[in-house]
A and B are shown apart, each in its own frame.
Chain A
């Protein structure tokens, strides 16, 4: 555990001494901020229109702003995750520092956990900045905070799974760009898999749609913690980390 923390701290440091972390923070906040003000704009216009038509359907901030924004954030994450994980192992393999890590009295799993948790913490920082936007809603309205909290939990779980996959892919190559591109491809694939359910209802389509990370976010977006979706994300995290540490082992057998 101590070693995990040592590695995690080192990774966080290298994110934050380089421009990487700040660039990601700025981009993520900018894009999400754009989503937010768009959503807010539509909400306001809609409200005014309804008033003019004399309708009195109660407006729901949670349903009309928070829920769509959360699912936007979950998609946005797919684009940022490769940039967070691509260097984790690829860089160490390229510069040879991996030899230092693996010849120190530290278990492979501790190294893997340290790196993955650093990536997750950086992602959590990105999410924290998006939360600033939502705090405006609490200033000027009174949305229900529980669905929002559940939504963020879902975002973290989803990111945890994808970051684990990205970490695994990073062990496969010395080249960060290749690791990043491959992770991006996999993330994108895991997103669009869901589309098959739109026109096909055979078993294979159901299975493919089940594998899509996005479908499992719906329940969290609605503010509901579904066991099966939680289990899905935890399985993804577990498998990703498991394959990462196996890959570290076989890295030596192969190299």
Chain B
């Protein structure tokens, strides 16, 4: 449904989007994930024919955004970063205006207005001035506007930004419920949003594509080779090098454990990192082994990467929450678009 090939946007001073390629199949809901300034809005503006690409191509339903913008525009619904509403209009009036722009008229138009009002939960503010609506309602009117002509593709730029948690949940549910009828691409800088709403994820940072994969695959990989952090305290003797080695060897014998390293072999704390083989759960076995050998288990926690950490790592962000964690680097290569 959406094909993006080496899409590039250069501004006078910087390259906002740099050779991005990905593809979205019909009916999918795709999260476009990246920190602020990554180039999400710029990419979406190119997909919606608002900005022309500097290089590369993008096609929507087979129509090129540069060659046949008119055909593309007919098939997309777009919710920009801030809902494009006219404060002096009433909700219904606004939807009627947008519907006419999208080519609807007559009974069909009125029918669609009623439908989208119900669908997006704005039926109770039909005759309210848009300027007087709360942020949550404006966002929903923005969504209603985007789906009024029943477009094949929905492009939503940070649809939950600036909403309170309750509104965020409502909006996410609404978007999910729209997924059956439309191909959706939504941008966000919030990771759980992608985990909760999307099937596919496209991660970009500083204009470059970092990864594209299904959310499940990413989670699998995150979960796959788990790294567990264990702190052991010997009950009887003082910690020394031979004991450290002994514990390490004991842990390595556990089935499913691929590697055990000691954090500080000469230090007083005996902290180990046990890495599991792909898909193996080793926490219980680790705990049991330590206790059954007569040692105390002071701490046991996953040091593996959550999706969040993968994201932070992939995007090279420095805001690491726990600096003592040094997860084994897990490169997820930017796979080719599965076209």
Residues of A within 8 A of B (CB): 2-3, 6-7, 10, 13-14, 17-18, 95-107, 252-253, 255
Say if the beta carbon of B223 comes within 8 Å of chain A: no
Chain A: CB-nearest residue to B71? A105
In contact, A105 and B73 (Cβ under 8 angstroms) = yes
A96 cross-chain contacts in B, Cβ below 8 A:
80-82, 84
Residues of B within 8 Å of A6, CB to CB, are 97, 100-101
Contact between chains at B73 and A103 (CB < 8 Å): yes
| A255, B48: Cβ atoms closer than 8 Å | no
Give chain A nearest CB distance to B104 CB in angstroms: 11
Once bound together, how far apart are the Cα atoms of A139 and B74, in whole Å? 56
In whole Å, how far is B16's beta carbon from the nearest beta carbon of chain A?
Answer: 11
Q: In chain A, what residue has the closest Cβ to B103?
A: A105
In the complex, A105 Cα to B105 Cα: how many Å? 14
Interface segment out of the listed B17-25, B49-57, B193-201, B258-266: B49-57
B residues contacting A by CB (< 8 A) are: 45, 48-52, 70, 73-74, 76, 78, 80-82, 84-86, 88-89, 97-98, 100-103, 105, 145
Secondary structure class of chain A's binding surface, majority of residues = helix
A99-B50, A252-B52 known; A104+B88 contact, CB < 8 A:
no
What are the nearest 5 A-B pairs in CB distance? A100-B84, A104-B101, A105-B73, A97-B84, A6-B100
Contacts A14-B86, A252-B52, A255-B51 given: A99-B78 contact, CB under 8 Å?
Answer: yes
Q: A7-B101, A106-B101, A253-B52 are in contact. List 13 more A-B contacts (CB 8 A).
A: A2-B105, A3-B100, A6-B97, A6-B101, A14-B86, A96-B84, A99-B45, A99-B50, A99-B78, A100-B78, A104-B73, A105-B73, A107-B70
Bound Cα distance A207, B101 (Å): 43
Contacts of B102 in A (CB 8 A): 104-105
Complex formed: what's the CA distance from A13 to B82 in Å?
23
Neighbouring B residues of A13 by C-beta, 8 Å: 88-89
Candidates B78, B81, B82; contact of A103 at CB < 8 Å: B78
Measured between beta carbons, the chain A residues less than 8 angstroms from B70 are 105, 107
Write the chain B residue with the least CB distance to A253.
B52
Q: Considering the chains assembled together, what is the distance between the CA atoms of A6 and B52 in angstroms?
A: 26
B101 touches A101 (CB 8 A): yes
| Complex contacts, B101 vs chain A, CB 8 Å | 3, 6-7, 100-101, 104-106
Say whether B98 contacts A100, CB under 8 Å: yes
In the complex where A10-B97, A105-B102, A106-B101 touch, is A100 in contact with B52 (Cβ < 8 A)?
no
Closest B residue, CB atoms, query A249: B52
Distance between A96 CB and nearest chain B CB, rounded to angstroms: 5
In the bound complex, residues from chain A placing their C-beta under 8 Å from that of B88 are 13-14, 17-18
Q: In the bound complex, what is the Cα–Cα distance between A252 and B100 (angstroms)?
A: 24
Some 26 contacts from A to B, beta carbons below 8 A apart, are A3-B100, A6-B100, A6-B101, A7-B101, A10-B86, A14-B86, A18-B88, A95-B84, A95-B86, A96-B80, A96-B81, A96-B82, A97-B84, A99-B84, A100-B78, A100-B84, A103-B48, A103-B73, A103-B76, A103-B78, A105-B74, A105-B101, A105-B103, A106-B73, A252-B50, A252-B51
CA distance A117 to B84 in the complex (A): 23
What separation, in Å, do the CA atoms of A2 and B101 have in the docked complex?
9
Distance, CA A82 to CA B80, complexed state (A): 30
How long is the Cα–Cα vector from A77 to B20 in the complex, in angstroms? 52
Contact yes or no, A103 B49, CB < 8 A: yes
With a cutoff of 8 Å between Cβ atoms, the chain B residues found around residue A10 in the complex are 86, 97
Q: Which residues of A contact B51 (CB under 8 A)?
A: 252, 255
Q: Which residue of A lies closest to B157 (CB)?
A: A99
- Asked if B80 and A100 make an inter-chain contact with CB atoms under 8 angstroms apart, the answer reads yes
A17, A99, A106, A107: which contacts B80 (Cβ < 8 A)? A99
Closest chain B CB from A52 CB (angstroms):
58
A48 to chain B, nearest CB (A): 52
B84 touching A102, Cβ below 8 Å: no
**Alpha-carbon distance between A17 and B94 when the two chains are bound, in angstroms:** 14
Q: Chain A contacts of B98 at CB under 8 A?
A: 100, 104
Which residues of the partner chain B approach A102 to less than 8 Å between Cβ atoms? 49-50
The distance in angstroms between the C-alpha atoms of A101 and B102, with both chains bound, is 10
B52 to chain A, nearest CB (A): 6
